[in-house]
Chains A and B, each alone.
Chain A
Amino acid sequence: MTNSPILAVVDYGSGNLRSVWQAARHAAADTDWQVVLTQDAAVIRSAHRIILPGQGAMADCMRELRESGLLEPVLRAAESKPLFGVCVGMQMLLDHSEEGDTPSLGLIPGRVQRFRLEGRRQPDGSRYKIPQMGWNRVTRPQGRPAHPMWAGIADGSWYYFVHSYYAQLRDDAHCAGQADYGGLFAAAIARDNLFATQFHPEKSADQGIALYRNFLFWQP
């Protein structure tokens, strides 16, 4: 046994687990962090940092998290440990999702709702498609210091999104990054020891790996 710190990627059956795990492992390659993919509540309890992935339908993700028995250890971890939510793993941190009228974890005040862009055109004249699928720029909210998770990452960097629903925060102070798709929306959210992104760092090339790497060293 080594004494290396553990980053646990919560495995409750979500689709993008392996990608998240591999990218986080890549980000931790020259550190002493051990990145584990785990279904074990005890590992989550003893881990130092947590990544909560999520992909697909919100209601399925919530149900699977509950049925896996990992809901309680995740909630406990969210009280004090650095926790990184990805995509639906971000949406679950809010109070409620319009997708399947699903109550969620209530860790950051806000709701998740569907893009309503039908019939609207993008600045270049093409119609808005849903899901938003592809690379979009993430900028930091004006007028306050950037979140420390952005250390070394240029403002306006490109990240990969795939989603039809987005977070509507109740308090703008919880917005850590925004992107524009028919209007600005919260692409990254944060509160205390929680940080989460609507985009997929694990599919966002170097800028995504940089974010996972920053997570290893972030001191909330």
Chain B
Amino acid sequence: MLAKRIIPCLDVTGGRVVKGVNFVALRDAGDPVEIAARYNEQGADELTFLDITATSDGRDLILPIIEAVASQVFIPLTVGGGVRSVADVRRLLNAGADKVSFNSAAIARPDVIDEAAQKYGSQCIVVAIDAKRRSAEAEQQRGPDGQPLGPGWNVYSHGGRRDTGLDALQWAQDMARRGAGELLLTSMDKDGTQSGFDLALTRAVSDAVPIPVIASGGVGTLAHLADGITEGGADAVLAASIFHFGTFTIAQAKAYMAERGIAVRI
């Protein structure tokens, strides 16, 4: 049967991997090929590179990184952050990315997902959704059907700074219908807290769409990773800091998940 995936996420800016990476015996903590190779050795199932460059000037600096990693490390690579157009997809795929992740651009113009999926296939189009539980006020706001939205989650854009007013479940379904092949779902409430995934959100989205869902945001322990699968119903789990800071290795995470009866590639 299909294994559940563990995906470390690497932040990239100015042509370097940033955010403390704490592997023992790395010559250069920021060298993307070395980091990618190390994660591969530990058994990472995929790698996600998030371009956190603020300006479009610096954006292309990720291309040589992807090229270098893709020529040495033979597992799937996803790239997100600042992806705007079908032309961006082409450039990233040509550089060696296997999947490209849209976020704000899909909110600004949802047709870009139809176009990108049509051109390159759903298998390489990921939509990242940043979701946040609605406030009591927002629950009273009326949705497209004229009814109060009620409890749930809204989609945020621009790195989680802007409330789009979109309902996360409806947005997830819309993106799947338009041709997204996978969703990367981040809980804004949980991100950075190390208190575990928003399991209710993860479960709700995972049950709402026919495509795979990657849970993200809030992992602090190995139990959190496993819960994302067993409670949240996620197909894959993404984490950054617990792996970067060396708190746990991917191998430890997999051993733990296997103990919990989750199918993992070991």
- Measured CB to CB, the residues of A under 8 A from B are 15-16, 18-19, 22-23, 26, 55-57, 118, 122-124, 126-127, 129-137, 158, 160-164, 180-181, 202-205, 208-209
Contacts and interface: CB of A to CB of B under 8 A. Distances in A.
B2 A15 contact: no
B96 A22 contact: yes
9 contacts: A15-B120, A129-B210, A131-B123, A133-B235, A135-B3, A136-B3, A162-B98, A203-B75, A204-B74
Contact of A135 (B5, B121, B123): B5
A126 B235 contact: yes
A22 B72 CA distance: 8
B85 interface: no
B106 to A, nearest CB: 19
B2 A56 contact: no
B40 interface: yes
Nearest to B75: A205
Query: Which of A57, A124, A127, A202 has most B Cβ within 10 Å?
Result: A124
B70 interface: yes
A57 B265 CA distance: 28
Interface of B: 1-5, 40, 45, 70-72, 74-76, 93-94, 96, 98, 120-124, 181-182, 206-207, 210-213, 229-230, 233, 235-236, 261-263, 265
Contacts of B235: 126, 129, 133-134
A124 B182 CA distance: 20
Contacts of B124: 15, 55
Contacts of B40: 205
Given A124-B261, A134-B4, 4 more contacts: A26-B71, A160-B75, A162-B181, A202-B74
Contacts of B263: 124
Nearest to B122: A131
B93 A15 contact: yes
A136 B4 CA distance: 9
B44 to A, nearest CB: 9
A55 B123 contact: yes
Top 5 nearest A-B pairs (CB, nearest first) are A56-B121, A158-B265, A135-B265, A162-B123, A135-B3
B181 A126 contact: no
Contact of B181 (A19, A122, A124, A131): A131
A132 B94 contact: no
A29 B177 CA distance: 43
Contacts of A16: 98
A209 B2 contact: no
